[in-house]
Amino acid sequence: MVSETSEPHAGLGRPIPLGIKVLVSGGFGVGKTTLIGSVSEIKPLHTEEPLTYAGVGHDDLAGVEGKRTTTVAMDFGRIYLSDELVLYLFGTPGQDRFWFLWDELALGALGAIVLADTRRLADCFAAVDYFERRGTPFLVACNCFYGEQPFNVAEVRDALDLDEGVPVMLCDARDRESSKRVLAALVEHVMRLRARPAGPTSGAARPAAVTP
């Protein structure tokens, strides 16, 4: 039976874990699902959004008057670092029209991994722009699909017009060790940003250029 103490938990003695949220974004088919799956147990998470909200200006509603909601699927992975510490990875929906979902995902996130395919670099512009505007710490990881990249890290940085302080690295999203390195690099990046003397920027403002 339940004792008469004020202890409300069913899971007696189990602490409430601290969840840390990391976003994985980038263009369609760039390997977000692969990266999340390589380091965590992955499950789809879906949300049913009213069309009037999700599709404003994007969905042609002619002929689908009866359809009021649309399903948006995201990848969701969990990494149990300890009993009390869980890393949650959320793959952001690929389509730009689901920006409103990004806002919920980005809220309180530790940071973001922008996965890029250098053959289609433009696909990740939207994500880079979003996290810059929002002031969410992020790094760019170039997924090496065939074991090689036609461009080097400096060229990618130039092409994306990234601030000096934003890390750019190569990775193989299929490889667990490589994906772990990307996650660790993001955490280190966040730690570096914190160690910086407090600048004038915070919150949604665009971060000032980082002095190396």
Partner 1 sequence: MADTDEPSWLDQDAGPVVRAFAVTRGRARPIAGSFDLMAHVVAVNPGSARPAHLQPEHHAILALVMEPASVAKIASELDLALGVIRVLLGDLMQEGLIAMYDPPGGAEALADDVLQAVLHGLRDL
CA angle 27, 103, 18 (to 5 degrees): 100
The nearer residue to partner 1, 51 or 159, going by C-beta atoms, is 51
Short-list 178, 117, 163, CA closest to 142:
117
Shortest separation between residue 119's beta carbon and partner 1, angstroms: 29
The token duo for 73 is 């699927």
Q: Tokens 């710490």 label which residue?
A: 137
Binding mask 161-200 for partner 1 (x = CB under 8 A): -------------------x--xx--xx-xx--x------
- 6 scored as a contact of partner 1 (CB under 8 A): no
Short-list 89, 95, 150, CA closest to 117:
150
Shortest separation between residue 130's beta carbon and partner 1, angstroms: 16
Q: For 163, phi and psi rounded to 5 degrees?
A: -65, 150
Residue 144 has a CB neighbour count (10 Å cut-off) of 18
The nearer residue to partner 1, 70 or 125, going by C-beta atoms, is 70
H or E, element range at 37: helix 32-39
Shortest separation between residue 129's beta carbon and partner 1, angstroms: 20
- 125 scored as a contact of partner 1 (CB under 8 A): no
Rule CB under 8 A: which residues touch partner 1?
A: 1-2, 8-11, 14-21, 39, 43-50, 69, 71, 76, 78-79, 81-82, 85-88, 90, 104-105, 107-111, 180, 183-184, 187-188, 190-191, 194
